[in-house]
Amino acid sequence: MYLNYFGLNDNPFSIAPNPDYLYMSPRHKEALAHLTFGLRESGGFVMLTGEVGTGKTTVSRKLLQQLPDNTQVAMILNPTLSALELLATVCDELGLSYTPEKASLKYFTDLILSKLAENHQSGINTVLMVDEAQHLMPEVLEQLRLLTNLETNREKLLKVVLIGQPELQQLLKRNELRQLAQRITARYHLLPLTAPEVSAYIAHRLSVAEGDISIFSKSTLRAVHQITGGIPRVINLLCDRALTLSFTKQHAVVQKPIFLAAAEQILGEDVVSQRVQSQRKWYLASAFVLAILLGYGLGSLYV
């Protein structure tokens, strides 16, 4: 709708987890490095957590791009499964045929373990990636741990990547999951973007779409961090709507009032008002503290 108007060749703020648009902030680079390192280690599990919309899924897609060609990946995108259903899904992802009438934990486990051994003999690494892993039931997590028991003298034959919200961290603190928690060789918690990173994030996505950061005014960029809290998914939603509103009003630059109007449409007036007031109070408190420090400094000159 607004692409031609702003000279863009693609939608820069789509919420689809496209690795081409992944802005590699220092935190994202660390997250990717931790996952990559963990998969190279001998342990069975690596874990990436973060709040909703911080970019966990996009980082995982980037990870998939970087895996060696001799890697077979099984993806679990809907982890609200029973242990039996999860094992059946793993079989499906690994291309294993099975007889539903024989379905049992042992039957599926034997099939999977046989496939892992076969892959190892053929020089193929096997990775199981579970998104939204905070929804896994404890008994299902325990079943995953048992799958990683097959190992050589040097490494596990199955590496598991758990991706989830902060609740996953709390889940793994349960006593019955302590054995699994001890097998996590790398873990990283992805935090929201800082104010400078928000501007760099927007500039990066616009650049990929052949655009320029000048589309957004400086006051708008400050407001983006203020309203979104640095959450990439929310940034995408609000910037996309702000560009649409600017186009309908034939504004060449997204100004702060337009962005706030877009934010109210997406988040609601109450949420936007609360965040604006919270930021204003922070500024006033900071100014008050600064005034006290300056006053103290000037006063000390006359002591």
Coil, strand or helix at 93: helix
DSSP single-letter state for residue 68: -
pLDDT score for 279? 57
Predicted pLDDT of residue 79 = 86
CB–CB of 98/83 below 8 Å? no
Mean pLDDT, consecutive 10-residue stretches, the chain (303 aa), reads: 90 84 87 88 85 88 88 91 93 94 93 93 94 93 89 84 94 91 90 94 95 94 93 94 95 95 91 73 47 53 49
Task: Say how many C-beta atoms besides its own lie within 10 A of residue 190's C-beta.
Answer: 21
- The pLDDT of residue 269: 85
The CATH code of the domain at 26-190 is 3.40.50.300
Global confidence as pTM: 0.81
**289 CB-near residues (< 8 Å, 6+ apart):** none
Query: Can you tell me the distance from the alpha carbon of 102 to that of 119, in angstroms, rounded to the nearest whole number?
Result: 24
Domain segments of the chain as ranges: 26-190, 195-299
Which two tokens mark 48?
């990436």
Q: State the pLDDT at residue 271.
A: 82
Residue with tokens 């911080």: 54
What's the rounded Cα separation, in Å, for the pair 76 and 54?
A: 20
Task: Please give the Cα distance from 123 to 125 (Å, whole number).
Answer: 7
Q: Going edge to edge, which strands form the sheet with 184-190?
A: 71-76, 125-130, 159-164, 45-50, 184-190
